[in-house]
Amino acid sequence: MLQDILAAIPWGILLAFTIGPVFFVLLETGAIKGFRAALVFDFGVILADVVFILIAYFSTNQILERLKDDPALFTFGGILLITYGVVSYIKCRRDFKRNIDEDVRETLPKNNYLNLLLKGFLLNFINIGVLGFWLGILIVFGPQLEMQTSRITTFLGSVVGTYLLVDCVKIILAKQLKSKLTHHRIFKIKRIISIILILFGLGLMLQALFPEEKQKIIHRMEQAGQE
């Protein structure tokens, strides 16, 4: 069991530092709304991971491969990310303008933990690439774990546990910036986050529109790695 846990730790760290929309939104939430709010958001993210793990574990590899590379799903996920980013950007500008016009105090909205939980879940769930990550993990490590349910559960649980612990450290570090965030800086961060979400959405859609180019890039990276 200890060997399985130690093998899982590097993957949990890698997952925690994967640069994606969740990464940036988690830091934003930690810096602006505090540790508890960011932790609830992270629980939503992990819940989506658990759903993907269950899908990957109980489904056949053939079905999952088709699902992972289905251009329609990449397009759908990209549209959702772009829509989310555009709406967030417009709302951010509108709120900032309203606060300036009304000359309100620089206070943060009260946390709605259910909304944060759902936000984390949906933001991670619409990224179909996460399913590919867990599928790859199971394909690589499943045979090494002799396809034993107990060992696979221990391994995957350790990956998720490490991911959560590293995220807690990230949240604490982000929270240290809270006292330095003025009202203007808060909305500036939100605008940047919104733009990042739009860019990730465009990236997903490009994968759907140019699947052959994607495969060529992957092939070149594999060749470079072998060299």
Each residue's pLDDT tens digit, 173-226:
877 766 665 667 667 767 777 787 788 778 777 766 765 555 555 455 445 545
Question: What is the total count of domains within the chain?
Answer: 1
Give which of 45, 43, 25, 22 is closest to 33, Cα–Cα: 25
Pick 143 or 183 by higher pLDDT: 143
User: Tokens 């056949």 map to which residue?
Assistant: 60
- Summarised one tens digit per residue, pLDDT across range 67-109 is 555 666 667 667 777 887 787 777 766 665 655 444 444 444 5
Q: Is the pLDDT of residue 146 over 70?
A: yes
- DSSP helix/strand/coil, 163: helix
pTM above 0.95, yes or no: no
Give which of 223, 179, 161, 195 is closest to 32, Cα–Cα: 179
The reported pLDDT for the residue numbered 158 is 94
CB 190 within 8 Å of CB 92: yes
Question: Residue 78: which domain range?
Answer: 2-226
| Range scoring the smallest mean pLDDT among 50-59, 67-76, 117-126 | 67-76
| Cα 171 from Cα 193, distance rounded (Å) | 16
Q: What share of the chain is helix, strand, coil (3-state, %, to 5)?
A: 85, 0, 15
